[in-house]
Amino acid sequence: MKHKLNELWAKAGSNTVLRRVTWPLRWLWGLLSHNFGLKILSLLMAILLWNYVVISNTSITREKVIDGLTGYVSGQTTLSGYGLAMLDDPAEALKDITVTVEVPQANYTRLSSSNIQVWLDLTSVRTAGTQEVALKASTSMGRVESIYPDSLTLTFETLDSRVVPVNVVVDSNDSKGYWYNVNRVNPSTITVSGAASVVRSIASASATVVMAGNQNGYTTSVPYTLLDTAGEEISQAMLNRSTSSVSATIGAYPLKEFTLSTDIANVVSGQPAEGYVVESVSIKPETISVAADGELLESLDSLLIEPVSVEGASQSFAARAKVSALSSFKYVSANQVYVNVTIAEESQSAWVEDVDVRFSGKGEGLSVTYRYDDLRVYVTGPGSVVDHLAAEGISASIDLSGLGAGSYDLPLAFDTERYPGVTFQPEMETLPITLTEFESVG
């Protein structure tokens, strides 16, 4: 290559114009063509020396923008010391922070989100209200020039605290045939502190234990939610709590449904007024669910109630009664039931001999004759009604509708709607009658 270039320069030297144009190139080539390898080595050393100077000299800097940074909150202890608490949750606003850093050239490629810290500084907050709170950032790789956003607008309130009860609920939808009891909760109360308006709205803490077919009791740790008086959940993000979970001990017991005895002797006690009886009883609900030891449940066929007194009663009534529960019962679905007691007059029977027979539906031109010298009716029903009928007599009716002249044995009918609960049994099931036509007068 060197030989060819020399030939090119020789040809150019014979031409005055080319000689003048190529003179700088020929001068440079002459410079490089002598000790060429040594000069290349010198160039490499110069490059390395420049790189060392750039790396070691921190005054050579560049700007670098790092975005998508997540900040944290600092100064909570100081804020609490002033009796204040944040009402707003800054978590979302702290998720996308942009920081511009003046970084030495040597650290430019090494600067990343992992070596930049961004925080919300609460140490400047002294009073309640809405105010701007500055964001701060730092890095060991350079100097922070700017932060975006550089502050957040937040509301602060007086710090308050209260103790609320913990309620544990068992979710046993998938555990048919068993009843679960919360035997123990630890702790039974928790202390919550934070912004006054939030803390004062908290009514209780609620935790749910899902049994999912578990037939044995056990102890488990569960998280809880904070609820207001309306049962709505309250965010815990800005609250300090004495614990984040509670321990619950759950007992599991077999569950069995029993029918309550409606035997009158088991339901009532005492005697009604003279002439009255207990006609019937009914109980609502008719069945009761009981949880207890399995062997105990298997030994029981039905449940009883504490008897309702009917002493001296002369009319029907309703009353509440307690279910007779054993001390070993763990759970009874209803401790009280409603008992309806029907009181009726004691039934009596008597012969009524004053019977007034009436006919209906007799056709025109017909006359009726009958004979019932010994007609009487055996009446059974409430004593007062029977006594009245025996003294005043009763009416019976015979329907002649559609009948023509002739002799018939027809049944007697009685007004049972007028005398509910009374039965009529005539001594004669049918009454012989004769229908005759009137003789025309010539």
Element (H, E) at 145: strand 143-148
Closest among 313, 237, 232 to 273, alpha carbons compared: 313
pLDDT in tens, 279-291: 999 999 999 999 9
Residue 294 pLDDT? 87
- Strands (E) in 329-426, as ranges, are 331-332, 336-345, 347-352, 355-360, 366-370, 377-382, 394-399, 406-411, 423-426
pLDDT in tens, 251-267: 888 989 999 999 999 99
Look at residue 94 and tell me whether its pLDDT is greater than 50.
Answer: yes
pLDDT in tens, 186-195: 999 999 999 9
pLDDT in tens, 382-403: 888 888 998 888 999 999 998 8
Distance CA 25, CA 79 (A): 75
DSSP annotation of 361 reads S
pLDDT-based confidence at residue 442 (cuts at 50, 70, 90): very low
pLDDT-based confidence at residue 307 (cuts at 50, 70, 90): very high
Residue 175 pLDDT? 65
Percent of the chain residues topping a pLDDT of 70: 84
Displacement of CA 338 from its chain's centroid (Å): 30
Distance CA 397, CA 377 (A): 13
Decide: 251 and 180 in contact? Cβ < 8 Å: yes
Structural domains of the chain sorted by starting position, each given as residue range(s) with its CATH number in brackets:
2-56 (no CATH), 61-149 (2.170.120), 164-253 (2.170.120.40), 260-345 (2.170.120.40), 348-437 (2.170.120.30)
